[in-house]
Structure 1
Amino acid sequence: MSIQDIQENLRMIRERIDQACHDCGRDPHGVRLVAVSKTKPAADVLAAFAAGQKLFGESYVQEFTDKAEQVEAPVEWHFIGHLQSNKAKYLRGRVRMIHSVDRLSLAREINRQWERIDERLEVLVQVNLAGEQSKSGVAPQEAPALVRKLSELPHLRVRGLMTLPPFFEDPQAVRPYFRQLRELSEEIAGLDLPGVGMDELSMGMSHDFPAAIAEGATLVRVGTAIFGARETP
Structure 2
Amino acid sequence: MSIKDNLTAIKDKLPKEVTLVAVSKTKPNEAILEAYEAGQRVFGENKIQEMTQKWETLPKDIKWHMIGHVQRNKVKYMAEFVSLIHGVDSFRLLLEINKQAKKYDRVIPCLLQMHIAEEETKFGLDKTELYAVINSHDFMALENIKVVGLMGMATFTKDERQIRKEFASLKSIFDDLKQKLPDIPVLSMGMSGDYAIAIEEGSTMVRIGSSIFGARNYS
| Residue ranges of structure 2 left out of the alignment (5+ in a row) | none
Match of residue 130 from structure 1:
117
Match for residue 211 of structure 1 among 197, 200, 215: 197
CA deviation map 1:165-201 (0-9, x unaligned): 1012244541111111111011111124xxx733110
Q: What is the RMSD computed on CA atoms of the aligned residues?
A: 1.6
Match of residue 102 from structure 1:
89
Residues 1-233 of structure 1 mapped to structure 2, 5 A cutoff: 5-17=2-14, 28-130=15-117, 132-149=119-136, 150-192=139-181, 197-232=183-218
Match of residue 21 from structure 1:
none
> Any conservation in 1 of the 2:51–2:64 contact (CA below 8 Å)?
no
Distance 1:220 1:50, change over 3 A: same
Name the SS for the 2:135 alignment partner: helix
Task: Quote the Cα distance in structure 2 between the aligned partners of 1:133 and 1:9.
Answer: 32
Task: Quote the Cα distance in structure 2 between the aligned partners of 1:130 and 1:41.
Answer: 31
Match of residue 24 from structure 1:
none
Shift of 1:90: 0.4
Distance 1:171 1:12, change over 3 A: farther
CA deviation map 1:106-149 (0-9, x unaligned): 11010000011111111000001135321111123321222334
CA deviation map 1:57-116 (0-9, x unaligned): 110011111122221252111111000000000011211110110001111010000011
Task: Quote the Cα distance in structure 1 between the aligned partners of 2:180 and 2:165.
Answer: 23
Identity among equivalent positions (%) equals 40
The count of corresponding residues between Structure 1 and Structure 2 is 217
Task: Quote the Cα distance in structure 2 between the aligned partners of 1:144 and 1:54.
Answer: 33
| Residue ranges of structure 1 left out of the alignment (5+ in a row) | 18-27
> Any conservation in 2 of the 1:186–1:198 contact (CA below 8 Å)?
no
Give the TM-score taking structure 2 as reference length: 0.93
Task: Quote the Cα distance in structure 1 between the aligned partners of 2:134 and 2:85.
Answer: 14
Task: Quote the Cα distance in structure 2 between the aligned partners of 1:49 and 1:98.
Answer: 21
> Any conservation in 2 of the 1:182–1:215 contact (CA below 8 Å)?
yes
Task: Quote the Cα distance in structure 1 between the aligned partners of 2:59 and 2:210.
Answer: 23
Distance 1:33 1:10, change over 3 A: same
Letter matched to residue 213 of structure 1? I
Task: Quote the Cα distance in structure 1 between the aligned partners of 2:140 and 2:39.
Answer: 34
* Structure 1 moving runs of 4+ over 4 Å: none
Moved more, 73-82 or 45-54: 73-82
